[in-house]
Structure 1
Amino acid sequence: MSGEQAGWALELYQRSVLKQQKFAGIQSLLGDTAGKRCLDIGADNGVVSLLLRRGGGDWSSADLAPEAVASIRSLVGGRVERIDGGPTPFADREFDLVVVVDFLEHIPDDRGFAAELGRILKPGGRLIVNVPREPRWSLVWPLRHAIGLTDQWHGHLRPGYREDSLAALLKPWFEVTAARTYCKTFSELLDTALNFGYVIKKRGQGEGGSTAKGTVVTQADWQKGGAGAMKALYPAMRAWTALDGLLPFFKGYRLIVQATRGSD
């Protein structure tokens, strides 16, 4: 991995309030990874994969879309597998920790994949899962659908999960030990605006712009104009998402849980 390849990814992270929220949520549950065998699944362009490796540990990565796999591999080097939501190429009880980021909603058999996660994790191993949280009602989601940001556009086979439905999905292999949400209404509105801008840009370039993992912002996308726009808008985006603090009793549109692998 060259400094230039890592540089664009770190710059993207430093200019993306939403990616910062996501990684902060993961990091709050991560614990010490030094000396542990770890796997991240679903990191899209590889920014999360790169950041996770900074904490130490022996990491592998995997994702669904070939575009995502290529981008992750360009950032972290080898041991990046393409998987399809079915059996994985990893050994029984190989990992101490698995981090699944925006993946379960993209695959047909999420329960079967939960069983696969149970197979590759050691008894007592930890699982961290990040998914969209399906709200009971929403002011933002009807707007997203109206402007074309549908589940189909995002590559979602289901809109998301709630705390109880995700815990039920992970049983009997895992026991959920922590759950939290992030990305409240103001952040979700920002995400809507950014994704809509991406749709318009891709259509203007004559491209579909969506993969099996939805939108994957690659190094080429970033260097074609994304960097300048995000840098200019970053102070305003930070101020806007800070308004989520005015909604202390509202849950976010993203859910992250930690679960422990039971003994056999």
Structure 2
Amino acid sequence: MQQVLTIEQTTPKQNWPLRLFSKSVLKQQKFRELTALLGKTAGLHCLDIGSDNGVISLLFRQMGGTWKSADLDEHSVSAIRSLVGSDVYQLDGKRTPFKDNEFDRVIIVDFLEHIPQDKAFVAELFRIIKPDGTLIVNVPQLKNSFLRKFRLAIGQTDEKHGHLRPGYTIESLRQLLGDQFSIDVHKTYSKFFSEMVDTLIVHAVYLLQRNKKEHSKKGALVTEQDMKKYKKMFRIFSLIFPFVWLLSRLDALLFFRSGYMLILRASSNKE
């Protein structure tokens, strides 16, 4: 049985990602959307790919079942491993180290846009998922919006985020999944106010890290060293977080607009 750290059991070295998560409107919303589609996992064998600093991997494990995690580069893998311990793997976006028909559930979190051969990777997911398995995919929704133009204007390019493509539409995802998976449900979430606040926060992080020699393949990944170095700034942000949260609630006024994130649940067509 996997030994999983609870939040109460984490050491100061391990709990900095949890502190970041507690002050991130977008990450909390993302986790709610993922778990809503995931359902119960007790007794199931599951894989999450793309969880960055490991908080989502940890929270998934606390839902029950057995889990493995994976991501693109050593920075993310190290961060995930520090939280969950074992069963964490580094991928190259191509072949995975897992067996045929291994997983009941596979969750892809902000990963497909970072790899060059997304179609081939979907075929790899089809190989490792069970015949009655479920795939959940979370990606940026492709939108030609004011916010995208603003991000480009302040230097938040696809390249800086590690994106090889700016996002997907539901039509392009349907084409990507092909005959291997059938989409059961899909939706968008995370609208203008939440995304604008996050854009400004990410921009601040990039400014703080502008002299950093190494970056994650997935953009600005905040590390334990960053948390120590900018402890005072994090405390200030913690104080203003209630106002950030209130601002994000304004998204409810935009019920007529689609969100900037796209999430779906699909069933394997494997027999």
TM-score by length of 2: 0.93
The one of 67, 84, 105 equivalent to 2:75 is: 67
1: CA distance, partners of 2:135 / 2:170: 15
1:129 and 2:134 are equivalent in the alignment: no
Distance 1:209 1:196, change over 3 A: farther
Identity %: 48
SS of 1:9's partner is helix
Q: Distance in 2 between matches of 1:175 and 1:215?
A: 33
Of residues 206, 212, 222, the one that matches 1:207 is 212
Q: Deviations over 1:151-210 (max 9, x none)?
A: 00000000000111111101211001011111111111111101100111112xx21563
* Alignment deviations for residues 84-109 of structure 1 (CA, whole Å, 9 cap, x no partner): 11000000000000111010000000
Please tell me whether the aligned partners of residues 209 and 215 of structure 1 are also in contact (alpha carbons under 8 angstroms). no
Kept in 2: contact 1:154–1:210 (CA 8 A):
no
Question: Aligned to 2:223, which of 214, 218, 234?
Answer: 218
TM-aligned CA deviation for residue 10 of structure 1: 2.2
1:16 is matched with 24
* Structure 1 unpaired stretches of 5+: none
Equivalent of 2:65 in 57, 69, 80: 57
Paired residues of 1:202 and 1:209 also in contact (CA < 8 A): no
Match of 1:45 in 2: 53
CA contact (8 A) 1:140 1:185 kept: yes
Matches within 5 A, 1:1-264: 3-4=10-11, 5-135=13-143, 137-203=144-210, 206-208=211-213, 210-224=215-229, 225=231, 227-264=234-271
Shift of 1:230: 3.2
Q: Separation in 1 of the partners of 2:34 and 2:213?
A: 30
Aligned length: 261
Measure, in 1, the Cα distance between the counterparts of 2:236 and 2:189.
24
Does the aligned pair in 2 maintain the 1:14–1:20 contact within 8 Å? Answer: yes
Q: Secondary structure at the match of 1:86?
A: coil
Q: Secondary structure at the match of 1:59?
A: strand
Offset of 1:12 from its aligned partner?
1.7
Cα deviation 1:70-123 (Å, max 9, x = unaligned): 000000001100001100000000000011101000000000000000000001
Q: Deviations over 1:208-233 (max 9, x none)?
A: 56321112122332333263133122
Q: CA 1:123–1:230 in structure 2 vs 1: closer, same or farther (change >3 Å)?
A: farther
**Uncovered stretches (5+) of structure 2, i.e. residues with no partner:** none
Q: Which amino acid aligns with 1:162?
A: T
Instruction: Tell me the TM-score normalized by structure 1.
Output: 0.95
